[in-house]
Amino acid sequence: MEFSKLSAPTLKELFIHSMEHRIISGEIKVGDKLPPEREIAAAMQISRAVVNSGITELARKGFITIKPRIGAFVADFRKTGTLETLVAIMNYNGGVMRYEEVKSILEIRVALDTMAVELALPKITDEEIARLEDYVEQIKTAPDSEAASEFAYLFQHELAVLSGNTILPLIFYSFRSPIFGLWNRFCVLHGIDALYKNNRILCSYIRKRDFESAKRFIHSSIEETIHGNRQIYF
């Protein structure tokens, strides 16, 4: 039995977490102007430096808009947010996503997966396909849903790399946290074998360099997850 070192969150992390929850819950409303940093610091009994760096981070995540010489305002994070904003919303909801967010991510995956396959197929080598197949086979033998989800992510990310598009792997990586959570839930609800078979079928079309069949399978399999018998909504 092994134990790892525990680490407590910093005051900055606690401040950001508190502010995110207040904004997401609507306690602090979109458009509200935040009090001066010194007042927030005094009320929360933390340093002004912590407040300043925390507000800067919240602005980077899309929760706050900073107007020089005017002040900091609560932003409409659904318009200005990033994927980090989505993770914050998941944390607020106890680590789960709402129906709209799950459906939206799956719809985006149709486009991204299709693009990755279309760009990769004309130039992919047998050795590269073998590497993809290795990731897929490791899904089958994974000891638990988290490990299976990790191998599924590695398969998809490697396919994005093989597309030759320099931006596509970065997009896949930025989606890692929410997509990982959805794959994990898929395994819990439908089994690791179902995740393995989906990726194995897609990989078989890649082996055949059959883009049209791969495209149809991507659309049908994800559609089944959105509206069919393998939904993964929380």
- Domain assignment of residue 1, yes or no: no
Position 65 scores a pLDDT of 95
Same structural domain for residues 108 and 188?
yes
Name the token pair of 207.
């082996």
Q: Are 50 and 41 contacting, i.e. CB atoms less than 8 angstroms apart?
A: yes
Same structural domain for residues 117 and 206?
yes
Same structural domain for residues 120 and 185?
yes
Categorize the per-residue pLDDT at 194 as very low, low, confident or very high, splitting at 50, 70 and 90. very high
Count structural domains, the chain.
Answer: 2
**In which residue are the tokens 């989906």 written?**
198
Same structural domain for residues 79 and 100?
no
- Domain assignment of residue 2, yes or no: no
The one-letter amino acid code at 34 reads: L
Position 97 scores a pLDDT of 73
Same structural domain for residues 76 and 115?
no
User: Of 22, 57, 84, which residue sits at a domain end?
Assistant: 84
* 71 closest CA partner among 31, 121, 104, 16: 31
Expressed as residue numbers, the domain containing 175 is 96-227
Task: Examine the pLDDT at 153 and tell me if it is beyond 90.
Answer: yes
Task: Examine the pLDDT at 5 and tell me if it is beyond 90.
Answer: no
d(CA 66, CA 77): 13
- Domain assignment of residue 37, yes or no: yes
The separation between CA 227 and the C-alpha centre of its own chain, rounded to angstroms, equals 21
d(CA 45, CA 22): 17
Share of the chain above pLDDT 90, in %: 71
Number of H helices, E strands in the chain: 12, 2
Same structural domain for residues 77 and 101?
no
**Mean pLDDT score of the chain, rounded to an integer?**
91
Categorize the per-residue pLDDT at 228 as very low, low, confident or very high, splitting at 50, 70 and 90. confident
Categorize the per-residue pLDDT at 6 as very low, low, confident or very high, splitting at 50, 70 and 90. low
For CA atoms 161, 163, 165, 168, the dihedral sign is: negative
User: Of 84, 110, 128, which residue sits at a domain end?
Assistant: 84
- Domain assignment of residue 91, yes or no: no
Same structural domain for residues 159 and 220?
yes
**In which residue are the tokens 């760009």 written?**
119
Same structural domain for residues 113 and 162?
yes
- Domain assignment of residue 3, yes or no: no
Greater pLDDT, 127 or 230: 127
Show Cβ contacts of residue 229 under 8 Å, excluding neighbours closer than 6 positions. Answer: none
Q: Are 215 and 118 contacting, i.e. CB atoms less than 8 angstroms apart?
A: yes
Same structural domain for residues 223 and 149?
yes
Q: Out of 6-10, 103-107, 210-214, which region has the weakest mean confidence (pLDDT)?
A: 6-10
Q: What phi, psi does 152 have (nearest 5°)?
A: -65, -40
Position 95 scores a pLDDT of 62
Task: Examine the pLDDT at 1 and tell me if it is beyond 60.
Answer: no
Show Cβ contacts of residue 26 under 8 Å, excluding neighbours closer than 6 positions. Answer: none
* 189 closest CA partner among 160, 230, 137, 153: 230
> Averaged over 92-109, what is the pLDDT?
81
Same structural domain for residues 218 and 107?
yes
Position 111 scores a pLDDT of 95
Show Cβ contacts of residue 123 under 8 Å, excluding neighbours closer than 6 positions. Answer: 164
Task: Examine the pLDDT at 2 and tell me if it is beyond 70.
Answer: no
Residue 175, SS3? coil
Same structural domain for residues 182 and 71?
no
Q: Are 217 and 202 contacting, i.e. CB atoms less than 8 angstroms apart?
A: yes
DSSP lists the bridge partners of residue 197 as: none
Categorize the per-residue pLDDT at 234 as very low, low, confident or very high, splitting at 50, 70 and 90. low
Q: What is the pLDDT of residues 101-138, one digit of tens each?
A: 889 889 999 999 999 999 999 999 999 999 999 999 99
Q: Out of 30-34, 144-148, 161-165, 224-228, which region has the weakest mean confidence (pLDDT)?
A: 224-228
> Averaged over 71-79, what is the pLDDT?
93
Residue 68, SS3? coil
